[in-house]
A and B are shown apart, each in its own frame.
Chain A
Amino acid sequence: VPPVQAHDEL
């Protein structure tokens, strides 16, 4: 499973 994003989106 690809890693989750680091909340870098707005």
Chain B
Amino acid sequence: MNLFRLLGDLSHLASILVLLHKIQTSRSCRGISFKTQALYVAVFVARYLDLFWRYISLYNSAMKVFFIGSSCYILYLMKYRYRPTNDPSIDTFRIEYLLVPCAILSLIFNYNFMPTEILWSFSIFLESVAILPQLFMLQRTGEAEAITTHYLAALGIYRALYIPNWIYRYFTEGVIDPIAVTAGIVQTGLYLDFFYVYFTKVLQGQKFELPA
């Protein structure tokens, strides 16, 4: 564990708490892509079911339980409790365009051709693009509530912090995880446009609005 990874994980944790706070206080999931949230459930279940056969630390296990539990809870809130506030007509990204390529990539790029390792690779690839339906929705509506942008910023910062973590681990432990690093760089790259608007507008007190 190093500071980059710890701060990254805390940022990830914070992003989910911000999202829950947004949904609970506004009693609405307006502006949140159900598809992205469903993809995160798939990512966490595919990757963190190793809870049952791989023990790393209490920290690691507790985070895994939290991420699986909270992502399922968010889906429940969107699908049932606040269903009327969820507008599928603007959540139109075709997720099969993400699922199929990720499935194929995970069959080609994995560390061992066995179901658990293929699932692990699949989850890494899928996580890297799971935010696309959300960003696509943002692009379509052209604006977002401030709190939704804080959620996205925390999520993006989590991924960005994993990059110095890998560099640090390469020099201190001599390890490198090419699959995670490649997917992680792609994932962070997807946030660059968003970060630009977030740091130049939202953090200056302006509304999050994309140029028409």
Contacts and interface: CB of A to CB of B under 8 A. Distances in A.
Given A2-B170, A2-B174, A3-B175, A8 B56 contact: yes
B175 A2 contact: yes
Interface string A1-10: 0111111111
B180 A9 contact: yes
Contacts of A6: 56
Given A7-B50, A7-B120, A2 B176 contact: yes
Contact of B5 (A3, A4, A7, A9): A9
| Residue with the greatest number of chain B CB neighbours at <10 A, chosen from A2, A4, A7, A8 | A7
Q: How large is the interface on B (under 10, 10 to 19, 20 to 34, 35 or more residues)?
A: 20 to 34
B64 interface: yes
Nearest to A3: B175
Nearest to A1: B176
Contacts of B64: 10
A5 B50 CA distance: 15
Interface of B: 5, 9, 12, 50, 54, 56, 60, 63-64, 67, 111, 120, 162, 165, 169-170, 174-178, 180
Interface of A: 2-10
24 contacts: A2-B174, A2-B175, A2-B176, A3-B175, A4-B175, A4-B176, A4-B178, A5-B169, A5-B175, A5-B177, A6-B56, A7-B50, A7-B120, A8-B56, A8-B60, A9-B5, A9-B162, A9-B177, A9-B180, A10-B9, A10-B60, A10-B63, A10-B64, A10-B67
